[in-house]
Amino acid sequence: MAKIHVNAFIDRESKNTKLELDDNSQVIDLLKKLNINPVTVIVSRNNELILEDERLNNNDEIRILSVISGG
Partner 1 sequence: MNCCSQKPIMEMPSGERLCKSHFTEYFESKVFNTIRKFDLVGKEENLGVALSGGKDSLSVLNILNKLSKQNPKIKINAIAIDEGIAGYRDKTLEKAREFCDKNRIKLHIFSYKEEFGLDLDEMLKILKVKPCTICGIFRRYLLNKKSKELKLTKLATGHNLDDECQSILMNQMRNDIAASARLGPKTGIMQNENLFVPRIKPLYLCTEKEVTAYAFINGLLDSFNECPNAPQAFRANVRDMLNELEQKNPGTKYSIVNSFLQTLPLLKEKFKGGIINICLKCSEPAANDVCNACVYLEKLKGKVEVR
Buried b / exposed e over 42-60, threshold 16 CB at 10 Å, is ebebeeeebeeebebeeeb
Which CB, 2 or 71, lies closer to partner 1? 71
**3-42: which residues touch partner 1 (CB under 8 A)?**
11-12, 14, 37-40, 42
Nearer to partner 1 by C-beta: 6 or 50? 50
Distances (CA, A) of 35 to 10, 28, 46: 12, 10, 23
Contacting positions for partner 1 (CB under 8 A): 11-12, 14, 37-40, 42, 44, 48-52, 65-71
